[in-house]
Amino acid sequence: MYCVMMITFLSGGTGTPKLIRGARRLMNDAEIAVVVNTAEDMWFGGGHLSPDIDTILYLFAGLLDTSRWWGIEGDTFATHEFLRRIGEDEFIAVGDRDRAVLLARAAMLSRGRTLTEATHALCRSLGVDARVLPMCDTGVTTMIRSGTTCMHFQEYWVRHRGSVPIDAVIRECAAAPVATGEVIRAIGESDAVVVGPSNPVTSISPILECEGIREALSDRFVVAVSPFIGDAPVSGPAAALMAAWNRPSTARGTYDLYRDFTDVFVQDIRDGDPIPGAVQLDTLMTDEEKSIGLAEAILAVVEEHR
Ligand code: GDP
């Protein structure tokens, strides 16, 4: 265990949660805050799907299915299957218990609670001590334009399995997103902020686009981790999304997006294109021990700068 240290992670729903899994073995959950991307959220099957928030909630609650990095381990799919049988367009397989969380969140939002309040309530009921903080309390949606069709990111990635070409990535929002007071406070109270190895286009950039975030980061010690090893992501559609932004799917492409506010950039030891000043570590978290190893190395970098 490290001596009391407060760390805020910026996270999507796969790469950074793997790193947080390791950090939890070295710190108390109460010393961890996670600012979570909400640009993949959607109303779905009568519930409110917030996939990255739920992955983080389930991780801290000890419920997460860590073979897929989404959903609840051992969940059943009776409702999903029956909805399909009666003709509903259930293109995402939401488990029964997972769906209960979507419905509870939808009910809270319908009663006028903010997403931050609803997430806080879910943290309490699931026994989560970490601060799990939606990036903002207004709707932001990542849309993918492919030819003449514009679709929600979930349609692109889940329904079409990322098989259609991307012509543009569009962030749709009714009002310019503003980071919540809770987010700004968490960053301000942290010894360091860790931008985890999440998708730069669909997970981290939506957080960076919230008003107030970049200013808050510029006052903190920031460590950012590349989600790419060599010229490929460890998983998911990040390469096609970076290409749509005319950026290479490499650590260097990621660094260029984060360099303004990053103090220490972490790239993988296998990368053959070392970035001056970057730290090279084994970032491939194939199991919990490897997550602990990477978290330990990052916390050591933070300790050094305290
Ligand atoms: P999403 O919300 O499910 O898209 O998840 P994230 O954005 O949090 O994470 C997706 C990114 O995590 C991908 O770009 C992967 O390359 C990256 N990733 C997944 N596992 C690892 C890992 O073990 N090491 C590193 N460095 N990146 C990873």
Å from CA of 43 to ligand 1 middle: 24
| H helix count then E strand count, the chain | 12, 14
Asked whether 254 lines ligand 1 (CB < 6 A), one says no
- Are the beta carbons of 212 and 179 closer than 8 angstroms? yes
Q: Ligand 1 pocket check: which of 14, 54, 144 to mutate, most ligand atoms within 8 Å of Cβ? A: 14
Asked whether 200 lines ligand 1 (CB < 6 A), one says no
pLDDT of residue 306: 82
**Can you tell me the mean pLDDT for 127-138?**
98
Per DSSP, the three-state class of 143 is strand
The owner of tokens 């509870």 is 104
CB atoms within 10 A of CB 223: 22
Nearest-atom index, ligand 1, CA of 16: 8
Under the banding of pLDDT at 50, 70 and 90, the label for residue 1 is: low
Nearest-atom index, ligand 1, CA of 268: 26
pTM over 0.75: yes
Asked whether 203 lines ligand 1 (CB < 6 A), one says yes
**172-224 per-position pLDDT tens digit:** 999 999 999 999 999 999 999 999 999 999 999 999 999 999 999 999 999 99
- Are the beta carbons of 206 and 179 closer than 8 angstroms? no
Read off the tokens for 133.
């903080």
Asked whether 14 lines ligand 1 (CB < 6 A), one says yes
Asked whether 283 lines ligand 1 (CB < 6 A), one says yes
Could you give the CA distance from residue 175 to residue 212 in angstroms, rounded to a whole number?
A: 15
Could you give the CA distance from residue 98 to residue 155 in angstroms, rounded to a whole number?
A: 19
pLDDT of residue 14: 98
Of 204, 252, 257, the residue nearest 228 (C-alpha): 252
Could you give the CA distance from residue 135 to residue 33 in angstroms, rounded to a whole number?
A: 12
Torsion of CA 154, 158, 161, 167, to 10 degrees: -10
